[in-house]
Every structure is written in C-alpha cells, then in structure tokens.
C-alpha cells in the first residue's frame, strides 16, 4: 500500500500553513551512564514550552535498527516510504552538489584513479588528490563531445566528480566500472538491461576520450564510474498532498532532495536567522515549508557533544520567530539521530514534536529523547509524519463513508 | 520487503559478541486484579540492574492478538518474519525430536489409529497408547522398504511418531490422510501439486506395508499421516547477518530450530549453569549465541505461578555470569508469553531488554511487564530484534547515502 494513494484521494485544500523544521541528526546519546543526551543537556526553553502544547513521537527513520543516509532519511520525512522509493547513488551525488537532474539524465559518480603502465589500477582514488588538483582536470573533461548527448562534468570534492549524460533513451541499469581492487584494470561498462545499451556506448566513448585527455597526468590518469542513476521518479508534493511547497535550506543536498519531490527552493540563506527571515517573507506564497538545519548533524558527526548542544540552543532560539507566524502545524523533527558518541548517523528513534490546535497534547513539558518515548504519537515510522501533519492542518478528508 | 534484503546488503564484520537469552514464555499475567505477574513477583536484582543500563521493549511475537507456537515464536526472534517464513508441521515435529532434516527429505507427522472391521477409524489416537506400547510398533515399521527411498521412522510420544522419506523429487504438497472424524476410513494421500505425485506413491506404498505390519495389533492397527513438509528453506545466519552463530539449548526442539537457520549446536547441557559454562568455553568461537531457557514456559503451561517465579529467579541468578563475558549486546527476551493463569502460550507482549553501550537507556530500573510497556523501544515486532541487535553491535552499515 502506498500512503500516497490515500493522500491523493483524501487531500483537501484550505489556507493552512505547515512548517517542517528538520534538525538534521538531532537525536543523540548520553556519553556516560545516566548522563544527558545533547538535546537533554541543551537549554531549550522554547522547545520545552512548545512541548506543553504539542504531541511527541519517537520517530523511526526507516525500520528499527536501520541507520539511514540523508536520502532515505528525508524521503521518510517527506512521506515517501524510503524502502519503496530509492534515489540512485549517482542521482544523490548530483543532487548533493546542486545539479538539477532532468527526465532524460543519467548521473554517474566518478573517482579519479591511477593506472600503472599495464593499465591496471594502482590507486582507486588517485592518491586522494585535493580539490585544487582535481578541478582543472574536471574542466579538462568538459572538452569531451559525443553526438546527440549533452554532457555535464561537475566537481564534487577531492578525487570525486559527477558526470551527467543528457539525451534520449538513456537507461541507468549499468554496473560500476570500479573493480573495488587494485592491480586489475577498470571494468568495462556493462548493461544489466537492454534499455541501457545506449548508455553503455556513451559511457565507453566518454571513457575513451577521458583516457586520452588524462594520459599525461601523474596521478589522475583515468577515472572509474559508479552508481549510474536516472532522476528518481517521485511524484510532487502538489500531486500527492495538494501542497504548494518550498524548501529553505543552506546546503545543496537538502535543496536537491526537496527539488526531487517538487518543492521550490527559496533564496540562498547562510544562517538559520536568514532561513527564518525567508520563511517570513514567503509566508503567503506557499502551503508547506521545509526548513533544514544542518549543524545538529555535522557537530554529531564530529563527535562534538558541546558543539551539538550549542547548535540545538541556536535552533531553540529560532522557535519564537517561527511560532510568531502562527503556522497551523509546526513539526520539529530530524531525518535520523547523529549521536556525538557514535560520530555517525544512527538508528535511534528521533525526538519529534507536532504542534497544532488539535494535536491532543500528551502532557509532556520538555522535548528530548526521554520525553519523546512517552509521547502521544508513540513510536512512529517517519513516513507517517506527513499524513499526521496534513490531518492536523485540516487537509485530509475522511477515508470511506 | 524482506528485512534480510537490508541485512544482507548492510552487514558489517567486527569482533563484537551478541547474546540472545531466550526465557521461553517469560511474559505472564497477574492471577488477581492488581497482583503481580510471575516476573513481577520474582526477585530479580540482576535483571533489574541490567534494566538500568538497557532499553526495553514490549515485543510482539507475530501480530497483536496472535499467540505463536515455538516455531513462529523463534523465527520472529531470529529475525525471520513468521508470517513470511513457515516451518511445515512435519518438519517442526521432526525438528522437535532432534531429527536433522536434509534437502531431499519430506517429514510427516503420524498418529497410530484404530480401524474397525470395515476399515473405518474407530479411534484417531489408538486409545492414546503409551510410549511403552508404541515404541516397539515404531520399530516394527522400520522394516518397511521402498526402492530408491531412504525411510526413517521415529517415535515422538504416545501414539505420535514421525516418518521421513529421503529421496529425489519428493514434493510435500499432500493432503492429510486423517479425516478428522471416526466411522469413516482414512483418506488416501492426494497431491495438491504435480511435483508431489512421487511422494504420494511412496506414501501409499508405506501405508500399504504398515497396514500389513500392524494388522494384528489390538489398538494401533494403522496410522494416519499429516503435515507433509520438506525442510524449510531458510537462509543461514551467516548469509543474512554475517554472523557465526551458536545455540546452547537443553531441548531438541530449540536446537532444531536453531539448526534450521544455520546455527551450530554446542554441547549437551542439562542445566542453565551448564549452558552458561558452554557459553564461556566457546566465547571466542562465535559472534552470536542463542541461549534457550525452557522452564519459564513449562511452568507456565503447568499453571504453576510459583514454579515459574522460581525459574525466573534461577534465570536472574545466571545473569552476572553472562555479563562477566562482556558481550557487546545482551538481549533478554522470550518467544512469547506463557501466563500460568492461561496455562498456554499467549499473545501478550514479551518483556524484552537490550543492553549495549549505545542502546539509549530509557530510565527504567526494573524489568517486567509493567516497565517494558514504557520502554524506549516501545511496542516492537519481535522480527526487528535482530536488526536492533546488529545495529547496537556496530554490525549494520548505513542504508542509502
């Protein structure tokens, strides 16, 4: 069952506003037995006050025990079942650098690599060359021309870059050319499906020209291709929810993910304050706003408990300015937990708070990992947060008579 | 979606140890309103101390309201969705007596029965003859020979025994021959699928010879055949989780269930103390240990509240010796509840406790039916306990980028 079959049928139009404030990786862990998590250690008077009016959930990003990447984490929050809808690696990489994928595109993650004199890979990452060294090489590859194919070559970071082929009849069912080993030659692109034969020919020609262009390089004298992926076929927020939606994010990855579900991208904010300003400016233009706060995740990944705590306090300070806009539904959540103790995304349920005039408050007076497990929404798969938000906004009609 | 598609992709190797301590049927009920359950009445200082470091769940064996047998109960704990994976009745009966099923086997539950002079069944259980009476008859049936088929005839208990046919091309889609009524003749074996025609012929020949061999018996002069079942096709722990797994159990049924998912069976322990000794001895040999404690179930089935309480205290006393081994993950759970009040397996959520250094403790300081419903893992289908255990052991990578 696709939840969107329900939301397509039941969606109702009104003037309500929904704000989804995503504190990336907000969930955490204590670093000592009986100690607080980052969120519990932080002073969050505004979130706690909000908790008294709201209802909490311990939100499960995918399934118990499964730690999601940013792609599946956000698809879940957006109400697209992350086990059903997938974003191919190449498409996610392109999305992450702000490349706007179109219907006829196939995106590919590429690594510069080093070939020895026999043509075998001696370094799968070309000595991890810096961005300074790789960007000119990426630009060099832009000279490659293939008839009837538009080609984009974009730097990512260090030895990584993205290639996008744009043209008719390009399938994406193609194996990686990275043999995941050294001392052997790169693999030839091979199609897993007849629809992808044309892409194989294009990729082979690209690799042939690239080998010539890079031949005189000491380290990055070739590259591999991985994660061939077309633009994922995701129905838009307008279609599945009847929502005109906007994303206010600092980082390209989150703008890209929002764009994949049909959200407009607003402005080029650099801080949360600027994000809230943009929210205010565009308040009348949209029904739904996705506001993404990155730093609760990046501090967690750095293992910086106090840094994460401070970033949570920064988030808390922004709450009154969002509340002042009187959204019908304010949802505060994260796409996953990023405990500084683990320095990585984790599977732990995410503290989640939904506030509306009809949310049935659960008596909690604080907002954190300990309170959310006693919240009125229980343990909840993240994919249901959109149906709950729509319901609380009066935007979902009755199912069945 | 099969969870194992995820765990196959995401499994990570490390040196961690996971111990799953299954107290069979541990969940109970109060016998009077406001009274304690067996687990609440028991003195469990070690489990309670563990609770302070762990996170609890109210584990749902199959689905709310569904009371599982031992087969589905354990499949759930092992992370094999008990609604998706099934162990046929004959295969479970063979497993329960310690018979090691092979790929070419079909196992059949048989009941001795009494036929009257017209060949109609007058007693479907042959007067419930004792094991003393039936074992010689089972041995008599071992004289049966069928070309190209290896035949095993094994006693179970009283009027029950198991027949296993071993040979090529034996399907198991065959109807029971027990008409579930007296005054009518046994049914002929009938195939539901063309693949099972050969087994039908084998079964008919077996029944023909059995009728001759038993003809002079006063009570058990024939037998019925039920639950034809091949060895269930379950991928191994090694394959789906990357775990080298061992089972330490007293009873054949639980050894058999563990063997079906590829666990090694360690030793021939007779007591929990011996089981914990074996755990210690083999600590370096395996990644995962399934330790099965039977008596919380058998006392429950006897309606023996105090007996179950004492068995729980015996379990509690074993905890420090398990903790002393410092497993990265210690999971204490049951395959279902067996309230002495009901004298049977039940559907009630099972108190479940997971302890690891990154489990996010939930503030509970005791372990029982009343605390588990406020646990940090919420109400949880048992099939997710393995993904959670793997995650807590650092053995699951990130899903998606």
Selection from B272, B378, B327 nearest residue B20 by Cα: B327
Q: What percent of chain B has pLDDT over 70?
A: 100
Does the CB of B397 have a partner CB in chain A at under 8 Å? yes
Query: Do A176 and A233 touch, CB atoms closer than 8 A?
Result: no
H/E stretch holding A293: strand A288-293
Mean pLDDT value across residues B38-55? 98
Does the CB of A363 have a partner CB in chain B at under 8 Å? no
pLDDT in tens, B160-209: 999 999 999 999 999 999 999 999 999 999 999 999 999 999 999 999 99
Min Cα separation A239/chain B (Å)? 25
| Residue A8, token pair as written in the block | 């397509």
Query: Do B315 and B3 touch, CB atoms closer than 8 A?
Result: no
Residues of A in contact with B397 (CB under 8 A): 67
Residues of B in contact with A341 (CB under 8 A): 358
Nearest neighbour of B376 by CB, restricted to A70, A93, A373: A373
B384 to A345: CB separation less than 8 angstroms, yes or no: no
**What's residue A56's pLDDT?**
98
| Cβ neighbours of A173 (radius 10 Å) | 17
Does the CB of B380 have a partner CB in chain A at under 8 Å? yes
Residues of A in contact with B377 (CB under 8 A): 64, 379
| Probe site for chain B from A66, A160, A335, A377 (most B CB atoms < 10 A) | A66
Cα separations in angstroms, B2 against A86, A286, B84, B240? 16, 39, 9, 11
Mean pLDDT of chain B: 97
* pLDDT above 80: residue A14: yes
Selection from B20, B228, B11 nearest residue B106 by Cα: B228
H/E stretch holding B225: strand B222-230
Does the CB of B147 have a partner CB in chain A at under 8 Å? no
The dihedral region occupied by A126, where left means phi > 0, alpha psi between -120 and 50, and beta the remainder, is left
Look up the ipTM and state it: 0.91
* pLDDT above 80: residue B354: yes
| Probe site for chain A from B18, B354, B397, B401 (most A CB atoms < 10 A) | B401
Q: Which residues contact A398 (CB under 8 A, 6 or more apart)?
A: A10
Q: What 3-state DSSP class applies to A227?
A: strand
Task: For CA atoms B166, B170, B173, B174, give the dihedral sign.
Answer: negative
How far apart are alpha carbons B127 and B112 in whole angstroms? 9
**What's residue A83's pLDDT?**
95
| Pair type for strands B18-23 and A379-381 | unpaired
What is residue B26's DSSP assignment? B
* pLDDT above 90: residue A401: no
- Give the count of Cβ contacts less than 8 A between chain A and B: 94
Does the CB of B379 have a partner CB in chain A at under 8 Å? yes
Residues of A in contact with B376 (CB under 8 A): 58, 349, 373
A68 to B390: CB separation less than 8 angstroms, yes or no: no
Mean pLDDT value across residues A322-342? 98
Q: What is the DSSP string of B143-212?
A: T--BTTBEEEEEEEETTEEEEEEE-TT----B--S--SSSSSPPPPP-BSSGGGHHHHHHHHHHHHHHHH
Selection from A301, A298, A323, A322 nearest residue A311 by Cα: A298
How far apart are alpha carbons B144 and B138 in whole angstroms? 11
| Residue B386, token pair as written in the block | 């393995």
Exposure class string for B13-49: b at 16+ Cβ within 10 A, else e: eeebbbbbbbbbbbbbbbeeeeebbbbbbbebebbbb
- Tell me the whole-structure pTM to 2 decimals: 0.92
A346 to B391: CB separation less than 8 angstroms, yes or no: yes
* pLDDT above 80: residue B1: no
Residues of A in contact with B391 (CB under 8 A): 65-67, 346-347
Does the CB of A71 have a partner CB in chain B at under 8 Å? yes
* pLDDT above 80: residue B231: yes
Q: What percent of chain A has pLDDT over 90?
A: 98
How far apart are alpha carbons B307 and A28 in whole angstroms? 42
How far apart are alpha carbons A218 and B59 in whole angstroms? 59
Partnered with residue A60 across adjacent β-strands are A381
Please, what is the angle between helix A252-260 and helix A89-96, to 10°? 120
Min Cα separation B202/chain A (Å)? 44
A347 to B380: CB separation less than 8 angstroms, yes or no: no
Q: What percent of chain A has pLDDT over 70?
A: 100
Nearest neighbour of A72 by CB, restricted to B1, B389, B400: B400
Task: For CA atoms A94, A95, A99, A105, give the dihedral sign.
Answer: positive
Does the CB of A345 have a partner CB in chain B at under 8 Å? yes
Does the CB of B375 have a partner CB in chain A at under 8 Å? yes
Q: Which residues contact B283 (CB under 8 A, 6 or more apart)?
A: B17, B325
Mean pLDDT value across residues A353-375? 98
A71 to B362: CB separation less than 8 angstroms, yes or no: no
Selection from A306, A385, A320, A310 nearest residue A353 by Cα: A385
pLDDT in tens, A77-136: 999 999 999 999 899 999 989 899 999 999 999 999 999 999 999 999 999 999 999 999
A373 to B388: CB separation less than 8 angstroms, yes or no: no
CA atoms within 13 A on the CB side of B372: 27
């Amino acid at each position: 069952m696709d939840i969107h079959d329900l939301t397509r049928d039941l969606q109702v139009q009104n003037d309500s506003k929904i704000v989804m404030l995503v504190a990336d990786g907000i969930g955490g862990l204590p670093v000592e037995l009986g100690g607080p998590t980052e969120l519990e250690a932080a002073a969050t008077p505004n979130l706690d006050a909000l908790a008294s009016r709201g209802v909490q959930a311990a939100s499960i990003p995918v399934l118990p025990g499964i730690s999601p990447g940013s792609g599946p984490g956000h698809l879940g929050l957006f109400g697209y079942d992350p086990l059903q809808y997938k974003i191919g690696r190449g498409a996610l990489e392109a999305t992450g650098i702000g490349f706007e994928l179109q219907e006829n595109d196939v995106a590919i993650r590429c690594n510069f690599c080093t070939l020895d004199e026999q043509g075998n890979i001696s370094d799968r990452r070309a000595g991890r060359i810096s961005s300074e060294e790789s960007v000119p090489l990426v630009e060099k590859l832009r000279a490659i021309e293939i008839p009837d194919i538009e080609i984009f070559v974009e730097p990512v970071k260090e030895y990584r870059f993205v290639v996008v082929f744009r043209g008719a009849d390009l399938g994406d069912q193609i194996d990686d050319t990275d043999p995941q080993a050294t001392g052997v030659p790169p693999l030839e692109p091979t199609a897993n499906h007849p629809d992808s034969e044309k892409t194989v020919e294009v990729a082979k020609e690209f690799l042939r020209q690239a080998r010539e262009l890079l031949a005189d390089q000491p380290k990055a004298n070739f590259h591999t291709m991985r994660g061939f992926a077309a633009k994922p076929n995701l129905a838009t927020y307008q279609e599945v929810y009847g929502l005109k939606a906007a994303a206010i994010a600092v980082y390209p990855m989150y703008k890209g993910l929002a764009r994949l579900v049909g959200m407009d991208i607003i402005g080029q904010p650099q801080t949360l304050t600027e994000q809230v300003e943009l929210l205010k400016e565009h308040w009348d233009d949209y029904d739904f706003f996705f506001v993404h706060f990155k730093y609760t995740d990046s501090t967690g990944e750095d293992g910086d408990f106090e840094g994460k705590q401070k970033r949570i306090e920064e988030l808390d300070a922004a709450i009154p300015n969002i509340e002042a806009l009187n959204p019908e539904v304010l949802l505060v959540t994260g796409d996953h937990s990023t405990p500084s103790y683990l320095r990585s995304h984790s599977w732990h349920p995410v503290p989640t708070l939904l506030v509306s005039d009809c949310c049935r408050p659960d008596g909690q007076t604080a907002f954190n990992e300990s309170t959310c497990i006693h919240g009125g929404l229980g343990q909840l798969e993240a994919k249901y947060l959109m149906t709950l938000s729509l319901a609380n906004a009066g935007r979902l009609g009755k199912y069945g008579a």
